[in-house]
Chain A
Amino acid sequence: MLDSVDDLPWSTVSDLTAAVGDGRLSASSVVEQTIARIRQYDPLLNSFTDVLERRALRRAQSIDHARERGAKPGPLAGVPFAVKNLFDIAGLPTRAGSKINRDAPAAARDAALIERLEGAGAILVGALNMGEYAYDFTGENIHDGPSHNPHDLARMTGGSSGGSGAAVAGGLVPLALGSDTNGSIRVPASLCGIFGLKPTYGRLSRARTFPFVASLDHLGPFARGARDLALAYDAMQGRDPDDPASADRAAEPVVSLLERGAEGLRVAVAGGYFKCRTAEAVYAVDRVAAALGANRDIEIPEAARARSAAFIITASEGASLHLDRLRSGARDFDPAVRDRLFAGAMIPASLVVKAQKFRRWYRDEILKLFTEVDAILAPATPCSAPLIGQETFAFGDAELPVRANLGLYTQPISFVGLPVVAVPVPHAPLPIAVQIIAAPWREDVALRLAHALQTKGVVAATRPTISGEMSGE
């Protein structure tokens, strides 16, 4: 029960909307407290690039006035949220983590998902740090500085939605949006120990966001619980003609299905390529598998090759997007991004087309697996959060580069657009997440399992003690 703004930082979306809905808290007081907490802790986390205090307060006041007039509050009434800074926000240039885009004209209109969340009563409070042009798994940004992991400020958040991970894990907002092309929601969810949903490709509108790889880009929410993810997801669903990839499907709400839990669902663990090689990943997958009674392994065929194909398509489409900027402003890129984009522009087109052909073959093989199982478990990241600036990590007998390999387990899944919920498994000293992978359009399956695991206490977004914050505050 949420009765005071002092309880706000770690409250659930459900508690918050209930408190605002029945007048125990005003939306204005929620926003004021949220902004104050951002001002206090974001200098440590570096998760926000823009704080929209005036806009958020105006919006909160309109919600409070509507409630006083007897209007029914929306399902997300008074919920503060923030978005990765590749979402258009009216009045701001959409920087997408870059220096170059800061000179772009201000966006004329909010991104579609911002409009949908605000239509449900949520309140946008700011834009969040991210890896440049989303070509990143670390959460580091050469222009804005790295986001810091709330569980250990010396460690990475993961990326590229690093600010989204830090802001939710650090209790600055209960809800954030990010993008996921190859793992950019699931990797920060894992390293920051929170829940993240990457829906089916085409499920949520990408209209008015800055793209990276059109044929792989997804948007989705981060939260500190499965129900909170579902509440946000339900508010954002629905066809949008402004996104060419938006599927022609009606909304399929999931919140009312969550209590069905794991009953009747067949769950297997991904073997082969997905076999864990660090103690923390082994622990997390085993714990989730045991709780769900997942006692068989299943092989996702050609997963390594799928990752290679995702790598090629990403490099090529990403480079194509930035060709003009590479010609006119190459020195203004992060060098690590620039050099990969240049290389991506030089791939022979015949190999890119072959990767797209392989993608269809792989999709057909994956779909066959879902006649045997309803969900597949796999680690979200090969390790828990590395130190900021760390270049390699131990992976079995090998040392792998961090920047290229944090998405080792996420790339073969998003490659064919499957819906995934990343669920955080508490582990000392740092959390790590497991991917719950479902068949296309079955976000309900992944969210039901995530909710069941959370109810059992197997997965949870543990509360960090941010340096300088009193434990138990």
Chain B
Amino acid sequence: MKRATARRPKSAVRKGPKKRAAKGRRAAPKANELKPPQTPEALVAASAQALGFHIDPLWTDRIAFNLRLILNHAALIDEFPLPDNSEPAPVFRA
């Protein structure tokens, strides 16, 4: 069955930055944007020290890989404009 695409409701009008994330391609970050490090091993080492982790050197590559993945996701959130008075939802109520 062919479905019609409804006109985007006002409620669904994008309020964030245009298209970039939706297309899965990120332009080069601006000076004031989050720049996930391509080699976060230094961040892994510093965080491990701060948090009291004893990390086997054999694990570092996988941890760095996962941290880079998370920070790439975080960049999508960081670039999204939110008003100063927006409230977080740590205990979500539907």
Q: Is the CB–CB distance between A343 and B52 below 8 Å?
A: no
Is A327 a contact partner of B86 (Cβ separation < 8 A)? Answer: no
The 8 lowest CB-CB distance pairs between A and B, nearest first, are A368-B11, A440-B94, A356-B88, A343-B66, A308-B73, A346-B47, A343-B67, A339-B62
- Beta-carbon contact of B14 and A363 below 8 Å: no
With known contacts A357-B88, A417-B92, A297–B77 Cβ distance under 8 A: no
Whether A301 and B70, one on each chain, are in contact in the complex, defined by CB atoms closer than 8 angstroms, is no
* Shortest distance from the beta carbon of B93 to any chain A beta carbon, whole Å: 7
Query: Is the CB of B16 closer than 8 A to any CB of chain A?
Result: yes
B51 touches A345 (CB 8 A): yes
B57 beta carbon closer than 8 Å to chain A? no
Q: List 20 A-B contacts (CB under 8 A).
A: A214-B91, A286-B1, A289-B3, A295-B1, A296-B6, A298-B6, A301-B14, A302-B14, A302-B16, A327-B52, A330-B56, A346-B63, A347-B70, A347-B71, A351-B74, A359-B92, A360-B87, A416-B92, A417-B94, A418-B94
Contacting residues, chain A, for B94 (C-beta < 8 A): 200-202, 247, 363, 416-418, 440-441
Task: Enumerate chain B residues within 8 angstroms of A355, measured Cβ to Cβ.
Answer: 74, 77
Residues of B near A371 (CB, < 8 A) are: 11
Contact indicator per residue, chain B 54-94, by CB within 8 Å of chain A (1) or not (0): 11100100111111011101101110101000111111111
Closest approach, in angstroms, between the C-beta of A439 and any C-beta of chain B?
9
Are the C-beta atoms of B73 and A359 separated by less than 8 Å? no
Chain A CB count within 10 A is highest, among B5, B48, B71, B76, for B76
CA of A232 to CA of B67 in the docked complex: distance in angstroms? Answer: 40
Residues in chain B near residue A358, CB distance under 8 A: 77, 80, 82
B-to-A contact residues, CB < 8 Å: 1, 3-6, 8-9, 11-16, 21-22, 24, 34, 43-44, 47-48, 51-56, 59, 62-67, 69-71, 73-74, 76-78, 80, 82, 86-94
Contact present for B89 and A363 (CB under 8 Å)? yes
Secondary structure of the A contact surface, majority rule: helix
B9-A342 in contact (CB<8A): no
Of residues 187 through 231 on chain A, the ones whose CB sits less than 8 Å from some CB of chain B are 200-202, 214-216
Residues in chain B near residue A327, CB distance under 8 A: 51-54
Mark the stretch among A25-33, A177-185, A268-276 that contacts chain B: A268-276
**With contact pairs A244-B91, A308-B76, A312-B70 given, residues A342 and B1 touching in the complex (Cβ less than 8 Å):** no
List chain A positions with a Cβ less than 8 A from chain B.
200-202, 214-216, 244-245, 247, 268-269, 271-273, 286, 289-290, 294-302, 304-305, 307-309, 311-312, 315, 323, 326-327, 330-331, 335, 338-340, 342-347, 351, 353-361, 363, 365, 368-369, 371-372, 404, 416-418, 440-441
Of all chain B residues, the one with the shortest Cβ separation from A356 is B88
Instruction: Please tell me if the beta carbons of B70 and A311 are within 8 angstroms of each other in the complex.
Output: yes
Could you say which residues of chain A place their CB within 8 Å of the CB of B76? 304-305, 308
Are A295 and B53 touching (Cβ within 8 A)? no
Q: How far is the CA of A216 from the CA of B55 in the complex (A)?
A: 28
Contacts of A315 in B (CB 8 A): 66, 70
B residues within 8 A CB of A271? Answer: 5
Which residue of chain A is the closest to B11 with respect to CB atoms?
A: A368
Residues in A with CB closer than 8 Å to B34 are 351
* CB-defined contacts of A300 to chain B, threshold 8 Å: 12
A442 CB to nearest chain B CB (Å):
10
Q: Which residues of B contact A269 (CB under 8 A)?
A: 3
From B51, which residue of chain A is reached at the shortest CB distance?
A345
The answer to whether residues A297 and B6 also contact, given A343-B70, A347-B74, A357-B82 and a CB cut-off of 8 A, is: yes
Contact for B86 among A290, A339, A357, CB less than 8 A: A357
User: When the two chains form their complex, are residues A342 and B53 in contact, meaning their CB atoms are under 8 A apart?
Assistant: yes
User: Shortest distance in angstroms between B26's beta carbon and chain A's nearest beta carbon?
Assistant: 12
Task: Determine whether the beta carbon of B59 is less than 8 Å from that of A339.
Answer: yes
- With the chains together, A301 CA to B16 CA distance in Å? 10
The answer to whether B16 touches A305 (Cβ under 8 A) is: yes
Select one of B6, B47, B66 contacting A339, CB under 8 A. B66
Interchain nearest-CB distance for B29 vs A (Å): 14
Select A215's contact among B4, B12, B44, B91, beta carbons within 8 Å.
B91
Closest chain-B Cβ to A112's Cβ sits at a distance in Å of 18
Contact of A345 among B11, B53, B82 (CB under 8 A): B53
